Amino acid sequence: MLGSRDVERSAVNRLARSDRGTVMIEFAFILPLLLALVFGIMSFGQAMNYWINETQLASEAARWAVVDRSPGGGSLQSWIQSQADAQKLKNDMRVEISFPNGRIIGQPVLVKLCVVHNFLPFFKRDASKVSLTRTIVGSATMRIEQINTPPIVSAGGVGPGTCP
């Protein structure tokens, strides 16, 4: 006949051998890594979307610049910035138009658009660790086809910072 002490010991042995709760503990260890991976993929996708949008807008700006026209009536740089799909691009994107070899028919027009993107902004980081901030640049180069007198499209930039 089993005594109360033997019953308690067998109950403790059963609980010690039980797998109940181990899945929850393992999931608690894996969940932060899984979430970081998912949010990292989403942030990378957002960066790719910014780059694609910037490249398309740079091509459009270069096309307007080579025929020396501005569709918005004002500065081509401001109009291009207003055409961005994402609100971050509309607010924080820099648009630069340059004429590296001067305003001569057949010479290039270079258009650069850039924005600073913070990958995984919710992670804390200090100066000693890897920076998760990168500048995303879209650019286009075309040859000047016509020049108006006086020129409508001007060299220069609109937006914060400078493009690399």
Q: Which of 87, 85, 86, 107 is nearest to 98 (CA)?
A: 107
Confidence (pTM): 0.79
11-33 residue pLDDT tens: 666 666 667 778 888 889 999 99
115-142 residue pLDDT tens: 999 887 776 666 556 678 899 999 999 9
The domain in which residue 127 lies consists of 43-158
61-99 residue pLDDT tens: 999 999 999 897 889 999 999 999 999 999 999 999 999
DSSP per residue over the chain, as a string? Answer: ---HHHHHHHHHHHHHH--TTHHHHHHHHHHHHHHHHHHHHHHHHHHHHHHHHHHHHHHHHHHHHHTT--TTSS-HHHHHHHT-SSHHHHHH-EEEEE-TT-S-TTSEEEEEEEEEEESSTTS---TTSPP-EEEEEEEEEEE-----SS-SS-SEEESSS---
Q: Is residue 5 part of a domain?
A: no
State how far the Cα of 29 lies from the Cα of 17, in Å rounded to an integer: 21
Q: Is residue 135 part of a domain?
A: yes
Q: Which of 59, 80, 85 is nearest to 156 (CA)?
A: 80
Q: Is residue 138 part of a domain?
A: yes
Q: Is residue 120 part of a domain?
A: yes
State how far the Cα of 98 lies from the Cα of 68, in Å rounded to an integer: 13
Task: Count CB-CB contacts under 10 A for residue 142.
Answer: 18
Pair 117, 89: CB distance under 8 Å:
no
Better pLDDT: 6 or 161: 161
101-116 residue pLDDT tens: 999 999 999 999 999 9
Mean pLDDT value across the chain: 87
Number of domains in the chain: 1
